[in-house]
Chain A
Amino acid sequence: MPTSNDLAKLKQLPDASGHFGPYGGRFVSETLIAALQDLERTYEKLWRDPDFQAEFDRDLAHYVGRPSPLYFAERLTDHVGGAKIFLKREDLNHTGAHKVNNTIGQALLAKHTGKPRIIAETGAGQHGVASATVAARLGLECQVYMGIDDVERQKLNVYRMKLLGATVIPVESGTRTLKDAMNEAMRDWVTNVDNTFYIIGTAAGPHPYPKLVRDFQSIIGREARSQCLEQTGRLPDALVACVGGGSNAIGLFHPFIEDESVRMIGVEAGGDGVETGRHAAPLTVGRPGVLHGNRTYLMADEGGQIQGTHSISAGLDYPGVGPEHSWLKDCGRAEYTAATDDEAMDAFRLLTRIEGIMPALESSHAVAHAMKLAKEMDKDQIIVVNLSGRGDKDIHTVAEIDGIKV
């Protein structure tokens, strides 16, 4: 474990060139360099601007509905029989997930840069919906790239985006999931860089995206920290969040980095089990490489080709991860593990039945691991789980597993 001095430094990352240790950076073709430098300048200026902060806070309060509650899941806690489990209710945000915290922030940046068109990539569709939502509100044109396999398994969100006025572009290249949607969005951006703002949905991609997405999402951790102190008089013992690209996790973790006593645990998509090779768990079993503009842990073969991934949840079905998680892992400040499709499904059903809260399949991975962890901990200890999204969008997937046609 790093010293408190190290932790203070860790919290200040990325460095001026966008690196978290060896991770992060700006690995893009030359055409995008100027746009990224521009974005960095705009962001650094606005993030320090009290008027921008006030506008962001106002939108989070009155449009998103923040603060989101920190809820003590008493029946779940009793059922598991261990540490107290609290849920950070990002599922109650407008549009139903944490994604909107970031899209509100980036849309405000887009507004300030005067670009009339936004593009986004999406996996489960939550980021696509959140982008389409802010585009509707600001009167911006919006195109969302989505792998054609995800278009199929997230029909409801596809229709939501269309109702919001966005164009959903199904991506048929590669593995036809989130990574391919991101490739296509990058290609669009290279072509239309003059009039287009690319809203990346996770804390990954070229600098400054991992930083600015984290900063916009850190509202989750700041609220959770003060809510926990207020409700229990102390800090939690552990934080648990699912990790695909890792934006909800870094949003929860970052404000706690210097709180040495707080364990931070990211839960990746174990799919059929990490030993089967059918999963999406680069931090658990992958290795460092470069994809989508940053150096980070990846699922790649020995020749460097990116491998196909599998997860029941489209939002976690991604072969990379945000670079800050890679560095938190190497430093030993955060731990990463995986939950399988089946474990996530069990958690989905249990939370729905005993708490009346239907979690997104992504968030169900975090719930599944929190239940395991709680059993090993004392009853007076506290776990905060990021319930990053609601499960309505997943009803088709669950019904299909149950053999029911909805």
Chain B
Amino acid sequence: MSRIKICFDRLETQGRKALIPYVTAGDPAPQVTVPLLHAMVEAGADILELGIPFSDPMADGPTIQLACERALLHNTSIIDVLAMVKTFREQDQETPIVLMGYLNPIEMTGYERFVELASDAGVDGVLTVDLPPEESTAFVSLLNEKDMDAIYLLAPTTEESRVSEVCRQGSGYVYYVSVKGVTGSAELDVDEVAAKVAMIRKHTNLRIGVGFGIRDAASARAISAVSDGAIVGSVLVNQIAALADTPDQIPAAVAAIVKDMRTAMDA
């Protein structure tokens, strides 16, 4: 059983919801990432989404584009990202890690080699933004053979007839993109999200995480109340950007935001 399922099962028995922070690996410098991941777990993160930097992050807004650019200034490669996960695992064997990114770095590494390395590093799931289920059969079987989950996106535009098909290929959780737009863009409509999540539940038993547009403790609480978990990215990455010149302060500052959200969600 994957760490992700174990994590959600445990949260469910505790009557809590998952807090899933996202940061881009290597932003603003490679040595920041592992301490940052530990700090976020300490502050109450349940699952970590770690971004693989890409030169052309088409589905992301300016915040995460710039994070990719900062990471790529140090040439943070997919191999480096896997090494970070491996280092993280030396101290933490429990917290699930989901790699999130775009297909080309994985494709250039080679599916088999990537899956081998990711499994060896202790990765639990992979979310490839530009790899919808129709194109990913081969990749998903490789992931599943190594007990890793393929995490898929569902969007406000996803037709109901498609939801079960997407969820059938996925495992771990599905990531519901709460707004039409890029990361960090629009305002959330909690009622609309609640209705969509209810619709998705009719078609799958997978846990449903919701992301895009959660920017503070109140919205994390509101979203997690109507789903199984809140996924938070741009607000953390903005904090990283603000402290890019004093990277030592980043883990504590980001952890403080995570902690606020945790407190609000558990209240």
CA distance A295 to B107 in the complex (A): 10
B135 touching A305, Cβ below 8 Å: no
Residue A190, interface by CB 8 Å: yes
Interchain nearest-CB distance for B115 vs A (Å)? 15
Interchain nearest-CB distance for A301 vs B (Å)? 8
With A27-B130, A29-B58, A30-B158 in contact, is A290–B181 under 8 Å at CB?
no
B77 touching A303, Cβ below 8 Å: yes
Interface code B253-267, partner A: CB below 8 Å = 1, 0 otherwise?
000000000000000
Across-interface contacts of A194 in B (CB, < 8 A): 180
A30 touching B103, Cβ below 8 Å: no
CA distance A194 to B166 in the complex (A): 22
Across-interface contacts of A302 in B (CB, < 8 A): 108
Residue B150, interface by CB 8 Å: no
**Residue in B58, B60, B132 with the greatest tally of chain A CB atoms within 10 Å:** B58
CA distance A17 to B133 in the complex (A): 12
Residues 7-45 of A at the B interface (beta carbon under 8 Å): 17, 25-35
With A30-B132, A33-B158 in contact, is A191–B152 under 8 Å at CB?
no
Interchain nearest-CB distance for B108 vs A (Å)? 4
A28 touching B107, Cβ below 8 Å: no
CA distance A169 to B120 in the complex (A): 45
Interchain nearest-CB distance for B57 vs A (Å)? 8
Residues 283-297 of A at the B interface (beta carbon under 8 Å): 287-293, 295
Interface code B148-166, partner A: CB below 8 Å = 1, 0 otherwise?
0000111111110010001
Residue A156, interface by CB 8 Å: no
B104 touching A298, Cβ below 8 Å: yes
With A26-B134, A28-B132, A35-B157 in contact, is A304–B54 under 8 Å at CB?
yes
Residue B65, interface by CB 8 Å: yes
Across-interface contacts of A29 in B (CB, < 8 A): 58-59, 129-130, 132, 153, 155, 177
With A173-B65, A289-B104, A305-B105 in contact, is A26–B157 under 8 Å at CB?
no
B135 touching A26, Cβ below 8 Å: yes
Residue A73, interface by CB 8 Å: no
Residue A183, interface by CB 8 Å: yes
Interchain nearest-CB distance for A233 vs B (Å)? 47
Residue A360, interface by CB 8 Å: no
Across-interface contacts of B166 in A (CB, < 8 A): 30
CA distance A316 to B152 in the complex (A): 35
Across-interface contacts of A35 in B (CB, < 8 A): 157
Residues 162-183 of A at the B interface (beta carbon under 8 Å): 173-174, 179-180, 183
Residues 153-192 of B at the A interface (beta carbon under 8 Å): 153-159, 162, 166, 177, 180-182, 185-186
Residues 115-133 of B at the A interface (beta carbon under 8 Å): 129-132
Across-interface contacts of A300 in B (CB, < 8 A): 104, 108
CA distance A186 to B102 in the complex (A): 15
Residue A351, interface by CB 8 Å: no
A303 partner, pick from B57, B103, B108, B162, beta carbons under 8 A: B108
B106 partner, pick from A26, A31, A183, A304, beta carbons under 8 A: A304
B162 partner, pick from A33, A192, A193, A289, beta carbons under 8 A: A33
Residue A234, interface by CB 8 Å: no
CA distance A265 to B131 in the complex (A): 32
Interface code B89-112, partner A: CB below 8 Å = 1, 0 otherwise?
000000000000011111111000
Residue A75, interface by CB 8 Å: no
Interchain nearest-CB distance for B114 vs A (Å)? 10
A304 touching B158, Cβ below 8 Å: no
Residue A353, interface by CB 8 Å: no
B180 touching A304, Cβ below 8 Å: no
Residue A187, interface by CB 8 Å: yes
Interchain nearest-CB distance for A191 vs B (Å)? 4
Interchain nearest-CB distance for A227 vs B (Å)? 40
CA distance A193 to B103 in the complex (A): 23
B108 touching A304, Cβ below 8 Å: yes
Interface code A259-303, partner B: CB below 8 Å = 1, 0 otherwise?
000000000000000000000000000011111110100101011
CA distance A319 to B145 in the complex (A): 34
A305 touching B177, Cβ below 8 Å: no
A293 touching B130, Cβ below 8 Å: yes
Residues 40-76 of A at the B interface (beta carbon under 8 Å): none
Residue B79, interface by CB 8 Å: yes
A27 partner, pick from B65, B131, B181, beta carbons under 8 A: B131
With A303-B105, A304-B54 in contact, is A187–B61 under 8 Å at CB?
yes
Across-interface contacts of B177 in A (CB, < 8 A): 29-31
Interchain nearest-CB distance for A40 vs B (Å)? 12
In this complex, what residue of A is CB-closest to B166? A30
B56 touching A303, Cβ below 8 Å: no
In this complex, what residue of A is CB-closest to B153? A30
Across-interface contacts of B109 in A (CB, < 8 A): 303-304
Residue B45, interface by CB 8 Å: no
A292 touching B58, Cβ below 8 Å: yes
A304 touching B59, Cβ below 8 Å: no
Residue A80, interface by CB 8 Å: no
A187 partner, pick from B58, B78, B153, B158, beta carbons under 8 A: B58
Across-interface contacts of B239 in A (CB, < 8 A): none
With A29-B155, A30-B153, A173-B65 in contact, is A304–B107 under 8 Å at CB?
yes
Residue A306, interface by CB 8 Å: yes
B105 touching A304, Cβ below 8 Å: yes
CA distance A151 to B107 in the complex (A): 33
Residue B72, interface by CB 8 Å: yes
CA distance A180 to B53 in the complex (A): 16
CA distance A298 to B102 in the complex (A): 15
13 A-B pairs with C-beta separation under 8 A:
A25-B134, A29-B59, A31-B155, A33-B157, A173-B65, A183-B56, A187-B60, A192-B180, A292-B58, A293-B130, A300-B108, A304-B78, A305-B72
* B interface residues with partner A (beta carbon < 8 Å): 53-62, 65, 72, 75, 77-79, 102-109, 129-132, 134-135, 152-159, 162, 166, 177, 180-182, 185-186
Q: Give me the 5 closest cross-chain CB pairs, A-B, nearest first.
A: A304-B105, A304-B108, A31-B155, A30-B153, A191-B181
**Additional pairs, 8, CB under 8 Å, beyond known A34-B158, A304-B78:** A27-B135, A28-B58, A33-B162, A187-B182, A190-B182, A304-B54, A304-B108, A305-B105
